[in-house]
Homo-oligomer: A and B are copies of this chain.
């Protein structure tokens, strides 16, 4: 397996040159565009890796499935689906998804920013500090890493450059879809996006989802199997933004990308995969990461279709 990963890594590294590191906040622009790392955790617990797989980066949108999981655990699927729809929007992740209609929950889903902001309000807790700590706790448990924390520089940078997310949040509020203080909710969201991970952590999260809620090796249950199916299904239809359709054809497994270059992929019953490659394509997905996953999928017949 290590050999395969090393070989694919070499094949895909040139692809990174065609992408661009996200630069909407200064902190992200510091990412190394040529970095490429991969980490695989099999259902039986075997770890394999190659490349820049211990490089730290911020989780960004890969926190969305964890937010969804926390919201599902705290409220059950019925309530969550009433507040955050489950259909693809057909638009970019940060689209002002409001035309001539009043915005309603059917126009958002858990993998776009508006939906993720609403999910922050669905986490149980007496304060947003407490809510965030519960989310961080779940993230550490899923990632199998209790050291995980927030990248303060990215958090501050997000917070001070967050006009688009503020527009989205106030739009939710003016449509009656968000009751709490916009700044408190967004603070929780910005901190969630700034959680620092590495490929190993993402692979571990993927492994728990592939294992339908049980930790690898110990098989300890973190959440019920139907919630894993819920999250995996959403990842399949919307996890790669408006590139989800092509990803389903080329790779064929549930996955979630983040703008810092991470991808967390779930191969049901078989493995979790974590990728880091910060050079992005035009839809905001890791360019080298998708190519590496496509090769890996072909080599190991990972597609579920």
Chain A interface (Cβ within 8 Å of chain B)? 77, 81, 85-91, 95-96, 98-101, 109, 163-164, 166-171, 173-174, 182, 228-230, 232-234, 236-238, 242-246, 248-249, 252, 254, 268, 303-305
Contact = CB atoms under 8 A, between A and B. Distances in A.
Contacts of A244: 87-88, 237
A237 B248 contact: yes
The count of identical subunits is 4
17 contacts: A86-B245, A86-B246, A88-B237, A100-B101, A163-B170, A163-B173, A163-B182, A164-B174, A166-B170, A166-B174, A166-B182, A167-B174, A229-B249, A233-B252, A237-B237, A304-B304, A304-B305
Contacts of A81: 246
A77 B230 CA distance: 30
Contacts of A100: 91, 95, 99-101
Given A167-B167, A167-B170, A249 B268 contact: no
A182 B163 CA distance: 9
A187 B232 CA distance: 40
A243 B87 contact: yes
A268 B304 contact: yes
Nearest to A77: B249
Contact of A303 (B96, B101, B229): B229
B163 A174 contact: yes
A32 to B, nearest CB: 27
A186 to B, nearest CB: 11
A216 to B, nearest CB: 18
A189 B85 CA distance: 33
Contacts of A238: 245
Nearest to A87: B245
Contact of A85 (B230, B245, B304): B245
